[in-house]
Structure 1
Amino acid sequence: MLTLTSPVDTPLHRLRAGHKLGALAVFTFGLFWVSAPLVLSVALLVVAGLYLAAGRRFSLHGLHMLRPLWPFVVVVALWHLWLKDPASGATIIMRMVTAVAAANLVTMTTRLSDMIGVLERLARPLAPVLPPRRLALAIALVIRFIPVLSERAAQLAQAWRARSGKAPRWRLFAPVALAALDDAETAAEALRARGGAG
């Protein structure tokens, strides 16, 4: 699987995972209580500034990781233009881009093992129903599989265009779903070989 943690060392790498995840939760919650364009613009600039402070290589990698978000931005923009309500569309887009960029910043600067540790502690109250280790590992695997599936979908789309010259659209659904099941089975076998999730 691909790792989302950036090899470029930044001051954010040295902060505790729990503090970063807590700050992310508060920051995202606040975004959805704010509708003033000026405040949302400032929040977006703050997140962009954190990327830029880590250097050009880190910023470009972060921008690349946000690439799957752009189709949603286009859809929201076109929909609100059609509704003749561009102000609401701009607010939604700024919220969405800022929240996803902030979450991406946390995953780029936090090791998977640290995330699992935080999620385990948060899941302890559920121990009688669901083992915290398994829940934390499941959430971490979902986070790590997202870029893998995105990359796999891009490869399948490229292969389709090379053969037909047309966009695959809905035809990619079945092969991407099968690839996801195959990757899940491979990950499950690897976990079983290492003694399970604990």
Structure 2
Amino acid sequence: MISLTSPIETRAHRWPAGWKLGALCLASTGLFLTDSLAVHLVALLLALALYAAPGRIFLRAGLRGLRVALPFAAVLIVWHAATGDLRAGVLITLRMVTLIALANLVTMTTGLEDLVELVRRLTAPLRRLGLPTYPLETAIPLVIRFTPVLVAHAETLALAWRARSRHRPGWRLVLPLTLRALDDADRVGEALRARGGPIGISQQE
């Protein structure tokens, strides 16, 4: 269940996770410091070019991961158009989609072990203060990795609903998706306990 979301391995998989996360932070800061639509549009095109560089398979997988941002983008555009500030809506939408695309690109090309090790290095000052960081080191990569899993579950449930009904599923998928997420969380919790998760905490203490 916990695996790379990339269907193929690229050269970016071999780059240090810290470099990729640092580049993401710099890109995020730069986009928030400018209000130029041209800059944001160029940034989005560059992000799409990064997806296209490894090939068509990687591009399709990356674009599928970005579909979750489309409803939010539509709401932002409609809201700002209704309030008479369409330019701000376009600017915010471009920024949001670009940052999601770049963040998704990092997670697609970074292994779970690399993410855990990176979080462990970043939380080293907390351990020196005597604070247990094992739960944080485990939770952050799991959240990153389980996001596409939950999206895939939602798509599967939607397809199953459409096969049985002509009506849109809408809110009716909330309960089964929640139960599926709880079931996954329970199984992952059991797997962590079986692999000595609590031991990791006690060793730090």
State the one-letter code of the partner of 2:95: R
- How far apart in 2 are the matches of 1:129 and 1:164? 56
Partner of 1:169: 170
Query: Which residue pairs with 1:150 in the alignment?
Result: 151
Identity %: 52
CA distance in 1, matches of 2:61, 2:19: 23
Q: Does 1:139 align with 2:140?
A: yes
Cα distance in 2, alignment partners of residues 4 and 66 from structure 1? 16
Q: What's the CA shift for 1:158?
A: 2.5
Q: How does 1:47-126 map to 2 (within 5 A)?
A: 47-126=47-126
Partner letter of residue 190 of structure 1?
Answer: A
Deviation at 1:110, TM superposition (A): 0.9
CA contact (8 A) 1:51 1:59 kept: yes
C-alpha contact 2:37 2:91 (8 A) present in aligned 1: yes
Q: Is the contact made by 2:8 and 2:58 (CA closer than 8 Å) also made in structure 1?
A: yes
Moved more, 51-60 or 113-122: 51-60
Report the Cα distance in structure 1 between the residues aligned to 2:170 and 2:11, rounded to whole angstroms: 41
8 Å Cα contact 1:17/1:115 also seen in 2: yes
Aligned to 1:23: 23
- RMSD, aligned CA: 1.7
Quote the offset at 1:144 in angstroms: 1.0
Specify the alignment match of 2:12 in structure 1.
Answer: 12
Gaps of 5+ in 2: 201-205
Q: Is the 8 A contact 1:31 1:40 kept in 2?
A: yes
State the Cα deviation string for residues 95-116 of structure 1 (Å, max 9, x = none).
0111000001111111110011
Q: Check the 8 A contact 2:7/2:57 in 1, yes or no.
A: no
d(CA) in 2 for partners of 1:12, 1:73: 28
Contact residue 51 and residue 59 of structure 2 kept, 8 A: yes
Q: Report how far residue 5 of structure 1 moved.
A: 4.2
**Structure 2: which amino acid aligns with 1:53?**
A
Counterpart code for 2:196? G
Q: What TM-score, normalized to structure 2?
A: 0.89
Query: Alignment length, in residue pairs?
Result: 198
- 1:23-42 to 2 correspondences below 5 Å: 23-42=23-42
TM-score normalised by length of structure 1: 0.92
Q: Bigger CA drift: 75-84 or 111-120?
A: 75-84
- Of residues 163-172 and 26-35 in structure 1, the stretch that sits farther from structure 2 once superposed is 163-172
Deviation at 1:171, TM superposition (A): 2.2
The alignment partner of 2:28 has SS state of helix
